[in-house]
Every structure is written in C-alpha cells, then in structure tokens.
Structure 1
Amino acid sequence: MIRKIWQDMFSMAATEGAPITLEENVEQIIDMLVADKIDPQAFISNYEYLVRDGMPSLREMFVKKNTSGHRTLSIEKHFRHNRARAFPLWFYGAYPDVMSWFHQWQKDISKTHDRNLDSVAIETAKLFGVNIEDETIDENGISDSKGNYRPEYLRNLVNSWRKEVKAKLEVSSPNLYEEAELNKQIKEQLGITEDNFAIIARCTAEYYFELKNNYQDRFNNETDLLATAGFLDAKHYILVEKSIDVSEIQKIAEELSSDEKESILEFIIQLEILLFGIDSPDMDKSDIENACLSKKQDIQKVIEEVQKTGTNDAFVADVQEFMNSSGGSKYREILGIKS
C-alpha cells in the first residue's frame, strides 16, 4: 500500500508536468524511500516547502488552518542558496538531516586536509562509494542527464551517514510501515483475505472519510467529494494506464441519490463496475454488474468498519499529498476542489 502511494505521487507529479525526478530513476528512488521507511506525509511537506523556497502557500496565507503538514525541523536549513546543485530536490526533502550532516562534514574535512581540494575530493567520493582514483570511472555514470547524483550513489551517502551518526532518519516513520506490515501479517495468520470487491471498497472508503472529516470545507457538495475519493482510488487507471477519464468518475457521482448514507455505498458499487469492466473487457457488463451488486452487504460492512476505526495513516498521507501539493493542482481544479 505504501509503495503504491509513492508510485502514485511520482506519477501524478509527472502527469502535471512537474516530475520529481527522471522517469529512469523513479523505481530506484522508491526502493530507497521504502527501505528507509520515509514518511510520505513528511516528505511531501518538506518537498513542497523547498519548491516554494520557504514561501507560504496561498492556503497558508489566507486560511487560518495550519497546512504546514509534517515538515521536519532541519528542512529550513536547505533553502535554494544553501543547496548543492548535484543533489536532487527529492533527496533534500527525504533526507534533510543527511544533507545537514554532509555539509558540515565537508567543512570539517576541508579544515582537516588544509583545504587541499584533491584530498577533500577523494574523501568525499568515498562517502558515495566511488574510488576517484579509478581511471575507468565514467562521470556520466555517477550523474544523470540533469547533473544530479544517481540514486545508487545517494544510497551510499545515506549508508555513510548511518555508519557515522547512528541515528534514526528525521523523515522516517517506522511505525507507519510496521503498522501496515503487522495488519497484513495478522490477516494472513487469521486466514482473513479480502477479495477485489472489498479492497476497492476499503480504499475508496478510506479516502472518502479522510476527505469528509478533514477537508470537507474545500468541497462545494457531496458529489465533488465522492468523485475525489473515486479519483484517488482509481489514480492508476487515470494517470498511468490512462484507461479511464476523470469525467467518468464524476458522472458516477452525479447520478447518485441525494441520500448521503446511501451515496457512498452506491458510488463504490458503480465505481467497481467501472474498474472491473476495464480489468475484464471480455466479460459481459451485466455479469459484472450482478457480481458487484451481489457484494452489496459486504461492501456496506467494509464502509462501516472504516468509518468506525478511522483512516489508516497511509491514506492520510496520500490525501494530504493530493490536496496540498502543486502536483495535484490540475486534478483538484477538474474536481472542483477549492484552494
């Protein structure tokens, strides 16, 4: 689930024309973020803060509600004039403490070596796992086409930091990942499995109640809120596969009854019919409809369970990223979400 949040985050940013990184680096970076248990909420708060170079967003300026999210303390050390060009912005957002340490380390090592640039370069390269004296090294292999260090070398830098500092990464949230893994293990041990009907229902309900409980003031009506929950659940189909359009989800929400209690249930059933139709193009539509309708009681139970237990942190992070990031602005406008 958390990996999917990262994938959706990078996909949405690329779709908006503001990619976080080069496409060739995405999977390596996600591997790194997941391995280090980086908190998506803290990351996007840091990243957006750096994109704005510390300037408040319009929402922060005009709305009293605090939207600073989960920014971490050391991120304020890394405004534009303090950043090294070879380090991508995503790395500063995910590892601000590593960068603070690295900048200080460079100052210290420079003094130790009497500012001998060759000696400093050799010691610095070691942090990245590079033998600078190896004549076969290709500089293009260390940096990508944008001149940023490639993920594998940044991973080596994090490992060097870890050996030296022996501390928890500032932006990591082991509990978030452990909770997701524990829930998975408990279900496996108890033999609890959810079919695709329940999975879609759970995800959509998680998004719906998080939006309703914490962002309702940014929606004009229940229809727009439902459509947004559906969009978040179907992001992969919309942004990656491009097999459906946002308007199809909006149409489902617009055609529902006005009864709020029934609307989320009806919406999920119709959303499932749409998505299963994409996944099973050879299956007769009436058979898909009958299958989804036969699960109505099960879907209702899932909705009630999510409403009772509260939103999982992973979905909280996903919603926050979409509702507050510049990367989601295009689709927020399409969905009629207020700034």
Structure 2
Amino acid sequence: MNVKDFDFYLPEELIAQHPLEQRDSSRLMVLDKETGEVEHKTFHGIIDYLNSGDTLVLNNTRVMPARLIGEKEETGGKIEFLLLKRIEGDKWECLAKPGKSARVGRRFTFGNGKLKAEVIEVKEDGNRIIEFYYASIFEEVLDSLGEMPLPPYIHEKLDDKERYQTVYSKEKGSAAAPTAGLHFTKELLKQIEEKGVNVVYLTLHVGLGTFRPVKAEKLEEHEMHSEFYHLSKESADIINATKKRGNKIISVGTTSVRTLETIGDENGIVREQSGWTNIFIYPGYKFNIVDKLITNFHLPQSTLIMLVSTLAGKENVMNAYNEAVKEKYRFFSFGDAMFIK
C-alpha cells in the first residue's frame, strides 16, 4: 500500500490556529465504521454514544514547556532547543536550531544564566544530546523559562498555556499534546461517569515524531518513532473486565490506541506494563483491544490517518475527510473531532 493512498486536499484556512473558547463546543463528526455513514454533531453530545459498562481510556500525559530559547556563551548567538526525551539524569535528547551552532562541546545559557547547557553528542539523525546545569529543581526552571512547543502548522501565539493541555493532564513528559482529549471538560467527564461509563487513564508521552512526514513510498518501509508508555494495574483490570462482559473500549486519541494495542495480547487482555513502543498501525492490522475511537482530523499521508483508516476502513475515512473539508470542519490539534463507532 502506498503513502499517497492517504492523501487528500486540505485548504490551509481549515487548519485551526487557536482553541475554541469552550472545549466541548467543537464539532463532532460521527463515522459508522460498518456503513461509512456520517452524522454531524457537537462534541458535548459524545455522551449519547457511550453506554453504561463501556470504558473510556484517556492519556493523562502532560506537555512540558519544552521549547528553550537562549544564547551561545562565547558569542551571544541565538539558539533554540526543543526537549524530546530525558536520556538519564540531566541529559536530554533535543532538536537544535540552528543545528550548525550546536556542535559537541558548545555551551549555551538561558534566562540570564538560570539554566546552562552543553552539547555532548550529535546523533546520526541530527538530534543532540544535551546536558543541563542549574541550581534548583529542573522542572521548576523549565516551567519558568520554557515555552509550549506548539505544532509547526500553528502560527499564532497561544495566550493560555493550559489550552494545550487536557483538563486531566498529570504526568509530565510530552513534547506534544494528545489532542483528542482537549475537547473534554471536567463537567463532561463527570456526566460520562454518572452514566455508568468507566473512565480510566494510561500514559503515553507524545514525541515530535508524531508530526514527521512518512518519507517511505510504501507503508511497510516506514520506521516509527519510539514513545514511552505506562498502564497501571487498576486501569488494566477495568479494561479486562469490560472486554470480558462484552462492553466496548473507547480510546480517546491515537496515543491511547497505540498504548493499548502494544500491551494487549491476541486474546484481548492487557496487563500492567511500562516500556517504549514504536508500533505502526496501518491497514491489515487486527485490533485486539480498541473497539471505538475519539480522534481529531489528521495530516494528509500521516501515520495517524493510516491508523484511523485501519479501524474504520480507508474508503470510509477518505470519504469522511472529504466531507469534513466540504463542511468546513476545523483540522488538526485545535480542530474538531471525529468519533468512530
């Protein structure tokens, strides 16, 4: 199967540049994966599609203010680092811009010396391993100096950092938000639980690889980036009980799908587990855990639209996307939502 099979025309004006004032007021396209039929709703109406005994699985990762702008110690030249993942201690894998300034041994300073950094390795893919130096607690320093690493297709400044966090975000470590969860409010989650739907959490720290284009022509040749995940025993037990009694598992976002399908076995059972996943879900894959999916509208030719097409059928998804363009849905991180039932 070719990457170009997942292309579609997207006018630039449909790429959402800012979040809506009310999280759950975004539009919701409901796609029936069996018939391909679509309905047009509002997101707070998602509760009508969730049944007592079902389990809603959300990713509680929290985005780090991972974009650091500083200067070279010797010359004062500008540098920008984007923290991707902690290697160990104070060593981080980062993207550097401009890369030519970030050579091994170069030192940089941020916030008038509040934070300092040295490049200790340049990796084959161009990423840098950086060691940071500071006087207090790293997370506190990062909170005071770092900026939110918004995706490259968002050009407007975000006034409120919390709007790029879910209301249930907890575990710091992501370089990007699990954006399907941005539509939920605390009130809506409470109503869902009051209906008898289980709400459980897992953690997958989203890497920037999620925005990287698929460069291989054939899907089989694409190599996925790796991301850290954790599923607790409590969440695993509720998911297993749901599957056993025949109720449905509804994943909020592709990150939750990737975690559940990494951990789940062919019998539909999950266990408490932590690790790194580079699972690539594309047509031909058989889902073991996930029955339904709440997701946003994704980039053309991306691994995310391939995952969605695997669950709902490529033809159904491409037709639904063309309908979304026609109906002027808002796309990507701050855009509208789709529910695959």
Structure holding more strand per residue: 2
Using structure 2 for the length normalisation, give the TM-score. Answer: 0.24
In our comparison, the structure showing a higher alpha carbon Rg is: 1
Structure richer in helix, relative to its length? 1
